[in-house]
Chains A and B, each alone.
Chain A
Amino acid sequence: MLDRIALTLSVNGEPREIRVAPMTTLLEALRTELALTGAKRGCNQGVCGACTVLLDGRPVRGCLTLAVAVGEREVTTVEGLAPPGQLGRVQEALEQVGAVQCGFCTPGIVLALEGLLRETPHPDEDALREALSGNLCRCSGYVKILEGARRAVEAAS
């Protein structure tokens, strides 16, 4: 077993001290060290997007990011988007249109869209599809997810 390294991560606005092995991914650190299990392990090789979190507001793969490489950047997980019992704009929109089925891809979808809207408040259809092109969903055929995305854009404008 390699020695563990002490780190301070800034997660959802709070400094969190953890000790992890050098190869520990951000996804693993969040899930096992910080009990933030919203980010999911769907493939662990950067294809499915279920592990998406925001680093300084931009979507990244939690499973392809080493915890030790996060540094000072602010980590936002799905748990950090709204106070307990409340939903953020993207979450609200996805709920309203019935875009949540099994829900395993949902946190990743929410954060991919949240990341897009922070950078581009009025994305067109192509930009929405581009932003979600790294997130797989097996239940919905993406139709209602896109509907929710459009609604989130409208709600913001």
Chain B
Amino acid sequence: MTCNKSSADYSAMYDLKRCLKAQWILPFIAALVACFIIITGLQNSFWFKESFSDRASEYIHILMPSARRVTFIMIGYILMGALTAVQSLSFLTSVKQCNVYLSMGITRKQLSKNRIFSTLIYLAIFSAVPIGASLILNAAKLSVTGELIFAALYYFLALFAGAVLGFGIGSVFTVSVGNIFESLVFSFTACLMPMILTACIETTFTYLVNGAVFVNENLGMNGGFTDFCSTLSDKLLLFDPMKYLEAVEGIGTKFASGTSARTLWASDWLPTIAFLIIGVLLVALTPELLKKRQAENAGMFGMNKGAVYFGVSVVSLAVFAFSGSMMFYLEKAAVYALCVLLPPVAALIFIAIIYRNKKDIAKGLKAVGAVALADALLLGICLTGVFGIYTAVPDIEDIAYAYVSPAASDFITTFSNSGRTEEFMSEVYGKFESEDDLKTVLSVHEKVKDNLGKGNHSSVCFVYKMKNGSEIVRYYRDVSDEAAKESLKVVETKWYRDLVTDLLTNDDFDAVKAEEELSNRYDEIRDDYRSLEGAEYELKWNTLSLYTQYCGETAITNSTLSDGLPLSEIMTKAQQKQFRQCLAQDITSMTAEDMFFNPSEPLYYLNFYLDESWFPDSSFNLIYLGRELVPVYESMTNTVNFLNSFNLGLKQLTAEDIRSLQVLPLEDRFDINANVNGSVHYRLDMTVRGSYKSAEYETGMTVYGDGFEYCTEITDKAVIEKYLSAQRAVACFIGDNGAFVKFNLKNGTTFVGYLSESVIP
């Protein structure tokens, strides 16, 4: 037998051929699933475009389906990459296979190189397959353009980068640990690490610090801010391979469609390139690690102490965060005890699973002790509010401007005849720039941070842009009723009053031009969309929506919403303008108390409609000033006097018109609809709306039981009369255990109102 280099090359070549035969299966399966997801997703998208749009511009190339599907594909490819690594290097975890492979005429480096090379080829091929399928579908449906092909390359690279990253992580762990179980567990954990870490930090802050110093996307934080502020996930975007494609989802599609003149931005490529580089570095590290690997580790548990400590850290941190989340169900003391006790127990169980013998488990007790100590320390830090950082209110001199998401707008629950209870996203108020406005914001902030954790689960969020360019986020998860009420004072600011005045009195507003300007602005800030610049942009969009709404038709109704008419039927254009000025004067002189908790019965309700003539195909999501109906109280003298000069002729509903009523206590309502609402604790702001002109809101809504079917019908005239005068079609309440009342009219219609706790016997 000749022992020479050519013989070694012969073995290496044969080994490579074997790898090429064996490594295609997992990438192939992943590509099949991705193709299925993409093809079905695209079919839906194309069908939707064809069915609901007759504008040529809507027929655009779509390379990827929805963000959720994209994320699913991305996660699938990363995990597939890791799984392929485990599969290809699994011979290292078997004593029998090590005996053969490591004793033959091929070096460890060559063995790993062959597996890496063959896998990378398949990862590239099967990353291209789903994108290619999408490309063909688009080409068949529309046309082939250079932009389309370039955008397809962009998506291909993103998928490939994810798969390579997963493969790199899987390779490093498989080469470093003893057996398949550990390589799978540690590889998957490492791939999911950014997601786990973000969730743990968010959960820990939300429940144990009672808030956050960052915007929290997932855990009940005010919705408004999460739309356009950088969340922790955003900040960690570069470290979360699972989510980055979701974040840049649509970029390629927009580019492929050629609807925008812009090219892909450097930042669009950044995560892809970064993950590809990290993946390649990890892959390159594998042959070196394999060279140093002790073959005797094959099949053994706990041979890599670094990996074990990594696992212990992740498990204990996750259990610590989980323990903190029990705050919703348990007493504080019990939660704190869990936070200190559960993670060491989890760490011990993890160590027992990994080592599986008493001697090594005993050695691992040191790690358990360290976990207990770290937990106590972490809990201590949380209890001090991260050393007081999260309760710190900035100095007015340092603030450039601020935004507030008040508790009152946390969730607005609309109760309609359809029986649907719907939660609207909260609104963000601002930007507050003047000294007086900032003083108001800071006083609200002071009040809120001094009244935390009182159990009604209202949350308030402040975002400050500092003069030095930094951004301060203060989110308080659970504030008292007083603090929640205090936060409504944002409507007493100059910013709010200027906005209302402008909305109601600006005749020169050009919505089309404003929309165009905003579109251009989007292209400028798209790169930094989830930032305060993004917030400003978003608020302008909302304001634009408001303008179009207030420039449209205004309807007026009686207090039971049973009769109404458009103002255009009784007023000239000039009179309508005058009416709006009166309304602006009254609203801007109201306090928050007058606006939200006015004890008197409204004389009328006003309803503003979008001026659809401006945007015939508009997909505007109408934004209201916190309420769908604007109540007109007797104290709004300018408005009331002006209206009184017209013969409105609105017929008021009387007890004679009503056959019966049913009363549904608020808590019962929440209990019944828990599956729909799931938010018993959002009790501050409740809008109750009757049936008048509500058809557009009922369209397409899922109809659930409204809860009244369980209530007795009351026909007593005295009760009907009493409840009729006491009901409110729009009701804001706090700490009020009132009830909903449903009036069944003799003409067969119904309407629903809210009764305060003080009215119900």
Are A and B physically bound partners?
A: no
